[in-house]
Amino acid sequence: MSLLFETFSIGELTLQNRFVRSPTTSYWSDEEGILRDPILEYYKKLAKGGIGLIIKGHSYISEKGKAHNCQSGLSSEKHIPRMKELTDIVHSYDSKIIAQLNHAGGVGVNDRATASKYVTEKWEARELSLDEIEEIVEKFSSAAENAITAGFDGIQIHGAHGYLNSQFMSDIVNQRQDKYGGSIENRSRLLMDIYDSIRKKIGSNVIIGVKLNCDDFAEEKGLTINDSIQIAKILKKRKLDFLEISGGGPEQVLQIRKTRGRALEGSGYEEATWGGHAKKIRDAVPGISLALVDGIRTRKTMDNLLSQNIVDLISMSKPFINEPNFVKLLEKGQEKASCIDCRKCISRDNFAKTMLRCFHKYP
């Protein structure tokens, strides 16, 4: 039997298989960040499709950290009842679900603030004070407590994709001269402070993961694979439960993103966009549970990633947008996702503006 369909344990949480639905925002919350009915039905389809672990699309930890309109929130007790409905639905199909917590930082819609003053052609972000950083850390732990109260099986801290933690870790954005700037140990200090605060709040038995860039894929500077390895080592010492490897930070270049992290041709998993970087992390930091996302579409690649011990979990998003029952289809013999990577679902015209769906299939 393929490892894909074997159980896997992260801490005290046992998954029915090795599939992870990577967190993707859905837009479908009201102006207060409270879930609306269609998104509950959406997650029901995912859970019914047999995914072992669902990571819910990011929820803001404070109004100041909101990434886009109609993003879900976990900043307040008012968010808990509908989130509890969501977790109950997912659990009724024997899937597990964890909450991804995020602060948008300089790309937020309510308060553009980040590690240092940062100017782009379209907007400018101010520098956060030490008091504001301390408040953000506390907001993360409070949101984590709300998530566990709502029935989530764990927490994932968003440390990728050019949001606040990613901004702090990037020396493109972070020019601070205090304990949060300079070395990679200092630039990742915010992430570690958030992790420590959440762990203290929710205890040692609840799993905590981090979504981490393996590379910012910028032309110059930015987080590199060597930086990511150092961060992974620090997180392992803190007994992080799992790491989801992703990529793409401030000033990423698409062509670099497509090529720099790939494994060599003939590896058996070169289809995975960052399979080469994932192997470097695995080799340098053994013993930490790894999930890998992006570019994975074929059963062959999935099997090779697991059998060669590159990662422990196969994380996908777009294939599940198109086929929420993709796991069951694979189990029945389907060899690849029907997703054609048209990327309409995450285009600027649609992403975080309308209900998440396959726009090629349902225009």
Name the strand (E) or helix (H) holding 119. Answer: strand 118-119
* Closest to 103 measured CA to CA, from 125, 87, 82: 125
Distances (CA, A) of 83 to 68, 131, 137, 270, 320: 19, 30, 22, 37, 21
- DSSP-derived letter for residue 266 is T
Q: Is there a contact between 75 and 87 (Cβ–Cβ < 8 Å)?
A: no
* Closest to 153 measured CA to CA, from 200, 93, 88: 88
Q: For 50, left (φ over 0), alpha (ψ -120 to 50), or beta? A: left
Residues 6+ apart with CB under 8 A from 166: 158, 159, 160, 213, 216, 223, 249, 250
The residue annotated as part of the active site, out of 27, 60, 118, 163, is 163
Q: Is there a contact between 247 and 257 (Cβ–Cβ < 8 Å)?
A: yes
60 is catalytic: no
Which residue, chain included where needed, has tokens 């404070």? 62
Q: Is there a contact between 251 and 21 (Cβ–Cβ < 8 Å)?
A: no
The helix, strand and coil proportions of the chain, stated in percent and rounded to the nearest 5, come to 35, 20, 45
* Closest to 102 measured CA to CA, from 149, 146, 47, 139: 139
Q: Is there a contact between 325 and 312 (Cβ–Cβ < 8 Å)?
A: no
Q: Is there a contact between 326 and 54 (Cβ–Cβ < 8 Å)?
A: no
**CA 216: distance to chain centroid?**
15
* Closest to 98 measured CA to CA, from 204, 286, 232, 242: 242
Q: Which residues are catalytic?
A: 163
